[in-house]
Amino acid sequence: MTASKRQIPTPAAPRMGILLQGMGAVASTVVAGVLAVRQGLGQPFGSLTQLSHIRLGKRTDNRNPLIRDFVPLTPLDGLVFGGWDIFGGDLYEACAHAKVLEASLLEKLESGLREIRPMPGAFDQNYVRRLNGTHIKPGGRRDWANALRQDIRDFKKLNDLERCVVVNCSSTEVYAELLPVHQTLEAFERGLDENDSNISPSMVYAYSALMEGLPYANGTPSWAADTPALLELALKNGVPVGGKDFKTGQTMVKTVLAPMFKARMLGVAGWFSTNILGNRDGEVLEDPDSFKAKEKTKLGVLDTILQPELYPELYGNLYHAVRINYYPPRGDSKEGWDNIDIFGWLGYPMQIKVDFLCRDSILAAPIVLDLALFHDLAQRAGRKGVQEWLSFYWKSPMTSPQVYPEHDLFIQLTKLKNNLRYMMGEELITHLGVEYYDEGNV
Ligand SMILES: NC(=O)c1ccc[n+]([C@@H]2O[C@H](COP(=O)([O-])OP(=O)(O)OC[C@H]3O[C@@H](n4cnc5c(N)ncnc54)[C@H](O)[C@@H]3O)[C@@H](O)[C@H]2O)c1
């Protein structure tokens, strides 16, 4: 659904809004991080838009600009943050509650963080049962959509912004099957009018963003813009959408290791992944129906990478399980273990163990930043609908219905960089390499 016609992106706006749906650990860490980088208190490690170079032309050309110098992106100094949450307070309080960043750093950022106060959220507790929101919009789904759209317009006006994107960083909603109300825009709008409880709050946020022409990126496993009704709206209004579920810790490792096994034709008998996590996200995921949404995005990757239908002898009997346990003492510092049972020549078994002591929000924050900047870029390049070229950032990348998602992290990176080259009219890099061995060159 990405526009295949090439269009050079228009220049970036000097200032751009990032509206965060949900201002908890991840959202407050990205905002505090951008403020810290602006004040010279830290570096944006983990962010491709800020740190990565891109090779252009042949290896002998020595052209390796920074991505942010190659494609037009709003600089960090020009970013303005806002958003919604179902709890009040300001972002200093959100950071203090999340306990991701040190108090000594937060003190230095206090005035900037105190200025940002979440707007009341659109909330239905049936979708996030463990939370009891107190800072919420009144009325039904149509009222929420009207109010969210007004919030967007007010935020843009107040901050004098032409451009803005929405990133969903809110709690994971319970898993539910899609129904007729999600299939067409007409049915969806009727559902909003009738306050149909099958429309989740995240879908209302996505609808509101798309109606206002704002790109919408979904960092959670919840349904949002990835419903036929809202994809129809995205195409109709010419807006890019992306999702879903930030690819941060264990799944990032999985999408590096699994392609390695397949590349070397090593079999996998079992892959057991377990996590302990003590933040609010972990608490929400204790609800089996919220976990079900997460499990779906986490389990999907191996089948697509390993292709058991093509390699039944290697991957046909793979036992794959994913567990997450809420364990408060760890807070945001998650520990993820993987036990992988593999087999090689003549079926001899081997094992690999991974113990990743990671920090959830530290891994997710640069992804939020990159996604906001790249979705804005995509819109300025005339792209609309699903942005498959940004699969790199997602556990469960949205794609056109005709194709399966690409999960291999390095194929995703090649795809991302080639899309940037393509947008800017540079030659794509195929890694063929024969040009270095032409007659006369050897
Ligand atoms: N951190 C990671 O590595 C990572 C990776 C992939 C996905 N995610 C997803 O990102 C999301 C955020 O993670 P987090 O650690 O910041 O969680 P969090 O619980 O700290 O923050 C979520 C925030 O959303 C708010 N919220 C809930 N429902 C809302 C609604 N309807 N409207 C507005 N706000 C609402 C909550 O009050 C909370 O402040 C989760 O869904 C998580 O699964 C995180």
pTM of structure: 0.95
Is the C-beta atom of 297 inside 6 A of ligand 1?
no
Sheet holding 335-343, edge to edge: 319-326, 267-277, 335-343, 349-357
220 within ligand 1 shell (Cβ under 6 A): yes
Q: Residue 375's closest CA among 68, 52, 18?
A: 18
- CB neighbour list of residue 159: distance below 8 Å, 6 or more residues apart: 15, 17, 80, 82
CATH code at 250-357: 3.30.360.10
Domain boundaries, the chain: 16-246+361-423, 250-357
* Residue 108 pLDDT: 97
- Predicted confidence at residue 2, as pLDDT, reads 44
State the chain's maximal CA–CA distance in angstroms: 75
pLDDT reported for residue 81: 98
Distances (CA, A) of 319 to 25, 341, 396: 33, 9, 20
How far is ligand 1, taken at its centre, from the CA of residue 24, in Å? 6
98 touches 361 (CB < 8 A): yes
Q: Is the CB of 243 under 6 A from ligand 1?
A: no
Q: Which of 429, 420, 431 is nearest to 48 (CA)?
A: 420
Locate 415 and state its tokens: 């795809």
Ranges under pLDDT 50 in the chain: 1-3, 442
Cα 280 to ligand 1 centroid, rounded to whole Å = 8
> What residues pair up with 85 in beta bridges, in sequence order?
120
* DSSP summary character for residue 8: P
**Would you say the CB of residue 408 lies under 6 angstroms from ligand 1?**
no
234-249 as b/e: b if 16+ CB within 10 A: bbeeebbbbbbbbbbb
- Ligand 1 site, residue 119, Cβ cutoff 6 A: no
Q: Are 128 and 171 a contacting pair, CB within 8 Å? A: yes
Asked if residue 360 has its Cβ within 6 Å of ligand 1, the reply is yes
What pLDDT, on a 0 to 100 scale, did the predictor assign at position 277? 86
> What pLDDT does residue 439 have?
66
Residue 238's pLDDT is: 96
CB of residue 275 inside a 6 A radius of ligand 1: no
What CATH number does the domain located at 16-246+361-423 have? 3.40.50.720
Out of 19, 26, 29, mutate this one to test ligand 1's pocket (max ligand atoms within 8 Å of CB): namely 26
Matching residue, tokens 């037009």:
72
Q: Which of 306, 323, 221, 230 is nearest to 267 (CA)?
A: 306
20 lines ligand 1 (CB under 6 A): no
pLDDT at residue 1, rounded to an integer: 42
Q: Is the CB of 87 under 6 A from ligand 1?
A: yes
Position 441 scores a pLDDT of 57
How close is the Cα of 178 to the center of ligand 1, in Å? 22
Q: Which ligand 1 atom is at minimum distance from the Cα of 173?
A: 41
Q: Report the pLDDT value the prediction gives residue 440, as an integer from 0 to 100.
A: 58
Two structure tokens written together for 311: 């390699």
Q: Over the stretch 37-94, which tens digit does the pLDDT of each residue have?
A: 999 999 999 999 999 999 999 999 999 999 999 999 999 999 999 999 999 999 999 9
| Cα(172) to centroid(ligand 1), Å | 6
168 lines ligand 1 (CB under 6 A): no
